Amino acid sequence: MSFASPFSTGSAYARGSALLRRNWGWIVFRGALALLLGVVTILFPLNALFAFTLVFAAYAGADGILSLIAGVRGATKKEDRWWAMVLRGVIGIAAAVAVALMPELATLSYALVTLGVLIAWAFLTGAFEIAAAIRLRKEIKGEWLLGISGALSILLGVWVWAMLWLYPIASILSVAWVIAAWAFFAGFTLISLGIRLKRLQAVENGLESRSDETK
């Protein structure tokens, strides 16, 4: 008697699901980074623009590196949608470099550019996560958590863009609180998703082991 894995359909959806399940640790770690970003952002004074930009650069860079590693691992295993992880990683690293290496850290123009980079990063990463959640809705339970994380990122981008348009100076001084709120919600959401994926991966590993024993 053989035990068929519910994940081994061979479809693009199943391969994309496998990529997420095998990188559940990356998702949990990314959630932890988001929580750390929230804590550090609250601890810094609202007018500490230099400190905030470095914290954001560190988060975007770490998220980009982790995404890039996950994408490369997926490519070596010929998993579906690995390129999306690689592209996300490149975007995160580029955002970090753009924020960290600009001169004139204390100027108003730099603050506006920094928030512009944040808006673009939030829109792009949010779109990737929502698209992934839609593709994987038939393959994994809890995919809505990934969708919520993406929606929160897009809402962050919309809010910061709207505030910059309506109240540019006030936005620069108060945006840290909004970033902190987003970071806490996104962090808990990603950690919950990572734990769910860990359980699914454990089930998959158990089914594969039992299937091998019966051969």
Q: Within a domain: residue 210?
A: no
Q: Within a domain: residue 40?
A: yes
Assign 203 a pLDDT band (cuts: 50, 70, 90).
low
Q: Within a domain: residue 30?
A: yes
pLDDT of 27 above 60: yes
Highest mean pLDDT among 80-89, 155-164, 200-209: 155-164
Q: Within a domain: residue 83?
A: yes
The mean pLDDT value of the chain amounts to: 73
pLDDT of 28 above 80: yes
User: CB of 140 within 8 A of CB of 197?
Assistant: yes
Helix (H, G, I), strand (E, B) or coil at 130: helix
Q: Within a domain: residue 2?
A: no
Total domains, the chain: 1
pLDDT of 2 above 60: no
Q: Within a domain: residue 209?
A: no
- Which of residues 69 and 106 earns the better pLDDT score? 69
Q: Within a domain: residue 3?
A: no
Q: Give the distance between the most distant pair of CA atoms in the chain.
A: 70
For residues 102-128, average pLDDT: 71
Q: Within a domain: residue 194?
A: yes
Of the listed ranges 4-13, 31-40, 147-156, the least confidently predicted one is 4-13
Assign 160 a pLDDT band (cuts: 50, 70, 90).
confident
Model confidence pLDDT, tens digit, residues 90-110: 888 888 887 777 645 545 555
pLDDT of 4 above 50: no
Domain boundaries, position 96: 12-203
